[in-house]
Amino acid sequence: MTESVPARLASIRDRIALACQRSGRRPGEVILIGAAKRQSDERIRAAADAGLRDFGENLVQEAEAHHRLLSDRTVGWHLIGPLQSNKARRAAELFDWVHSIDRLKIARRLDDEARRVGRKLLGLVEVNLGAEPSKHGFAPRELAGVADELFGFGHLAIVGLMAIPPPATDPAEVRGWFGRLRELRDQVFAGSKARPGLLSMGMSADFEIAIEEGATHIRIGTDLFGSRTPRP
C-alpha cells in the first residue's frame, strides 16, 4: 500500500529531528518546504491538512493554481525554480520568498516590482557551486563583488544563499558541497547588519546531511508527495 502524504510528512519530520539531534540543533531551526512541482491537488491539500505550512514552486503559472487551492490557508510561498524577467511582476505578487536569485538583473526587477505592489520580499542568492553549465546561479567568486548591491535594495531583502550541488553518491562529497555553501555564507554575510545568513540546501536524497551542515530551509518533493505527475 502506498504511504499517505501525512505519514510521509511525519516520517520526514522525525528524520529532521534526528539530524538536528546529531548536529546539536533544534528542529525549529529548519523550515521544511514542500516542493509542489507537478503534484496533484489532492496531495498538496493533504500536506496542508497535515500541517505543512511552506510550499515551494518552480513555475509562476503553477503557483497561481496552488494559491487558489490553498486560498483558505495561511502558508508561506517559496519560488525555488529559475525566474524569467518577464515573470518578475507576478512573482512579486505571489511569493513571500524567492530562493533562485541567480543574477543581478532578476534581483533588480524583483525589487522594483515589490516596490510597485508595496510588498517586502525575502530573497536568497543562488550559487552554482560546481560551475555546471546546466545550472543557474552566481559563481562563488562573483559573490563578493555583488554583495553591496544585493544588500542595498529597499523592498527585496537578501537573507541567505541557495544551491543545488552537483550530483554525488558519496556522502562525504555531498557534505563537502554543503560545507562550501556554508563557508560562502559566512564570508558574504560577515559584518552585515540584521542579516541572518540563511541556507536553502538539501532535497529528498540528501536533506539530512544538509541539516547537519547548517541548512535552515530544505526543499522536499518526492519523499513528501511521491512521484511527480508525468507531463502530458
Q: What is the CATH classification number for the domain harbouring 111?
A: 3.20.20.10
C-alpha cell at 34: 514542500
Q: Is residue 169 part of a domain?
A: yes
Find the mean pLDDT for residues 140-165: 94
- Please say if the pLDDT value at position 211 is more than 90: yes
Q: Which long-range contacts (CB under 8 A, 24 or more apart) does 177-180 make?
A: 177/129, 177/130, 178/202, 178/206, 178/209, 178/210, 178/213, 178/214, 178/215, 179/213, 180/129, 180/140
Domain count along the chain: 1
pLDDT bracket for residue 228 (50, 70, 90): confident
Residue 150 has a CB neighbour count (10 Å cut-off) of 20
Q: What is the pLDDT of residue 166?
A: 93
Q: What is the mean pLDDT of the chain?
A: 94
pLDDT at res. 83: 95
Residues 6+ apart with CB under 8 A from 205: none
SS3 label, residue 8: helix
pLDDT (mean) for 87-105? 97
Q: What percent of the chain has pLDDT over 90?
A: 91
Confirm whether 154 is domain-assigned: yes
Q: Is the dihedral of CA 219, 225, 227, 230 positive or negative?
A: negative
In the structure grid, which three cell numbers stand for residue 117, read together? Answer: 505592489
- Residue 231: inside a domain, yes or no? no
Q: 158 lies in a domain?
A: yes
2-45 pLDDT, tens digit each:
689 999 999 999 999 999 999 999 999 999 999 999 899 999 99
Q: Looking at the domain assignment, is residue 232 inside a domain?
A: no
The residue range of the domain holding 155 is 5-225
The pLDDT of residue 104 is above 60: yes
pTM, entire model:
0.94
Is 91 in contact with 60 (CB distance < 8 Å)? yes
Mean local confidence (pLDDT), 117-133: 95
Decide if 230 is inside a domain. no
Please, which pLDDT band fits residue 186 given cuts at 50, 70 and 90?
very high
Give the closest residue to 216 by CA, choosing from 150, 141, 162: 162
Any idea which residue has 532535497 for its cell? 203
Confidence class for position 1, pLDDT limits 50, 70, 90 = very low
Q: Is 196 part of any domain?
A: yes
19 within a domain of the structure (yes/no): yes
pLDDT value at residue 192: 66
At residue 195, the pLDDT reads: 64
The reported pLDDT for the residue numbered 3 is 83
